[in-house]
């Protein structure tokens, strides 16, 4: 690559004052290129010739997020609206002769490929003028439409904000040749929603100064995790159905037994935070749905259908502040505890939505890559089995999200 670039930059470059280089890994390749070629007796690059590194548009999206604003040709003045691809655009032309080339010998195949590529280059040369004219007409029409849309968007921006953006753009264009990080101002700055761990850390940092006893944040976080574990156990039992092996039955029984022990420990700690008047046997939260002001319309428990129907598989309503209702929290002065639970549930909802997006993305990719082009429409194939497994995960996350709202 160094040899090819060096000789390309030394051929007929008398009137060239700037070079735009496209390479799939330019974000790493151009960092130490000049340093590596310094003092080389065989290849060199003119020090006075500026090289603008860029990554082709088909490849830049597979890089890190910051590489798009730093190296995509869309952000380089003078690059135009191009993809930067060369070899990849010729694959469709080579696909025409691929069936014929499969049965050929190596010399015959090489001659066929050479003939095809020479013909492609010849067609490009004789059709270049008409192609450029057509692209120019399309670009002129597109420029008018883009200008009208841009003007409508620009009219709604305050002058001070527009001037600030112009200064940032000028500074980025001036400094990008020295530091590509200057182009990060063109990236999408979207703050990630706080996770339940982030919110828990924040609440724990403020807990000593907060009202109430220590450990309330951890206790509520335990309750949310137990509630989520109950939902997942119910969904797994429902998915297993009545026909499952003894090994699966044993695993479900162990999970249920471990969950029961953790719930018992959680209920034993409840009086420390809900007050000494709390009764574990009678105050395990309201089992029936309350109205909108009662806070407890979160869990829509379905009758469990599975191999452990005869055992206790129904979800236990944990005595969390929001499940006790508004009147109970106001009567016992537990509003501060309900506020902590509300913040933690917000983080739980954010985490669940993120996992739900990832699961839906996996399902979409699997459908377009394996299921859509499958030669069989049978639902018992491996591809459909993976789709159904992802659907189970989506249903679990959906129910957890509904419980966290």
10-residue mean pLDDT series, the chain (405 residues): 85 84 88 84 83 87 87 85 77 84 89 90 91 90 89 89 91 87 82 86 74 78 90 85 84 90 89 73 45 40 48 66 80 83 90 90 84 70 82 88 83
Q: How many domains does the chain fold into?
A: 1
Residue 324 lies in a domain: yes
Residue 297 lies in a domain: no
Residue 236 lies in a domain: yes
The C-alpha atoms of residue 270 and residue 257 are separated, in whole angstroms, by: 20
Task: Return the structure tokens found at 107.
Answer: 């010399």
Residue 357 lies in a domain: yes
pLDDT of residue 287: 40
pLDDT of residue 130: 93
pLDDT of residue 281: 54
The C-alpha atoms of residue 252 and residue 233 are separated, in whole angstroms, by: 8
The boundaries of the domain holding residue 242 are 196-279+313-404
Which residue matches tokens 């065989």? 42
Q: What burial letters (b/e) apply to 186-221, b meaning 16+ CB within 10 Å?
A: beeeeeeebebeebbeebbeebeebeeeeebbebbb
The C-alpha atoms of residue 110 and residue 370 are separated, in whole angstroms, by: 33
pTM (two decimals): 0.56
CA distances from residue 347 to 194, 294, 301 in whole angstroms, order as listed: 6, 21, 22
Residue 274 lies in a domain: yes
Residue 32 lies in a domain: no
The C-alpha atoms of residue 55 and residue 253 are separated, in whole angstroms, by: 55
Residue 43 lies in a domain: no
Residue 299 lies in a domain: no
pLDDT of residue 296: 39
């Amino acid at each position: 690559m160094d040899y090819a670039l060096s000789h390309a930059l030394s051929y007929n470059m008398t009137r060239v004052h700037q070079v735009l280089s496209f390479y799939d890994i330019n974000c790493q390749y151009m960092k130490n290129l000049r340093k590596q070629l310094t003092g080389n007796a065989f290849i060199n690059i003119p020090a006075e010739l500026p090289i603008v590194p860029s990554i082709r548009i088909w490849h830049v999206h597979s890089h890190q997020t910051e590489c798009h604003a730093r190296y995509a040709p869309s952000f380089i003045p003078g690059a135009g609206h191009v993809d930067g691809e060369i070899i990849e655009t010729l694959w469709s032309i080579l696909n025409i002769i691929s069936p014929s080339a499969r049965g050929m010998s190596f010399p015959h195949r090489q001659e066929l490929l050479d003939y095809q590529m020479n013909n492609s280059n010849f067609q490009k040369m004789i059709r270049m003028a008409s192609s450029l004219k057509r692209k120019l007409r399309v670009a002129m029409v597109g420029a008018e439409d883009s200008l009208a849309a841009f003007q409508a968007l620009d009219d709604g921006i305050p002058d001070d904000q527009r001037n600030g953006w112009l200064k940032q753009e000028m500074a980025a264009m001036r400094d990008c040749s020295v530091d590509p990080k200057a182009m990060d101002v063109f990236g999408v700055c979207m703050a990630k929603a706080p996770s339940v761990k982030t919110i828990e850390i924040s609440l724990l940092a403020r807990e000593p100064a907060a009202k109430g006893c220590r450990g309330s944040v951890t206790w509520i976080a335990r309750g949310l995790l137990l509630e989520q574990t109950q939902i997942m156990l119910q969904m797994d039992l429902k998915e297993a159905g009545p026909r499952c092996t003894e090994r699966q039955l044993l695993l479900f029984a162990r999970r249920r037994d471990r969950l029961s022990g953790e719930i018992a420990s959680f209920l034993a700690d409840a009086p420390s935070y809900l007050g000494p008047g709390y009764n574990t046997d009678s105050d395990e939260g309201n089992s029936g749905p309350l109205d909108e002001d009662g806070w407890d319309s979160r869990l829509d428990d379905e009758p469990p259908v599975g191999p452990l129907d005869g055992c206790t598989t129904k979800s236990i309503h944990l005595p969390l502040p929001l499940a006790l209702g508004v009147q109970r929290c106001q009567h016992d002065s537990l509003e501060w505890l309900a506020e902590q639970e509300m913040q933690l549930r917000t983080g739980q909802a954010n985490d669940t939505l993120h996992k739900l997006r990832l699961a839906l993305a996996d399902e979409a990719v699997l459908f377009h890559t394996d299921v859509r082009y499958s030669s069989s429409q049978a639902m018992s194939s491996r591809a459909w089995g993976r789709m159904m497994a992802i659907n189970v995960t989506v249903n679990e996350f959906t129910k957890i999200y509904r419980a966290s709202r």
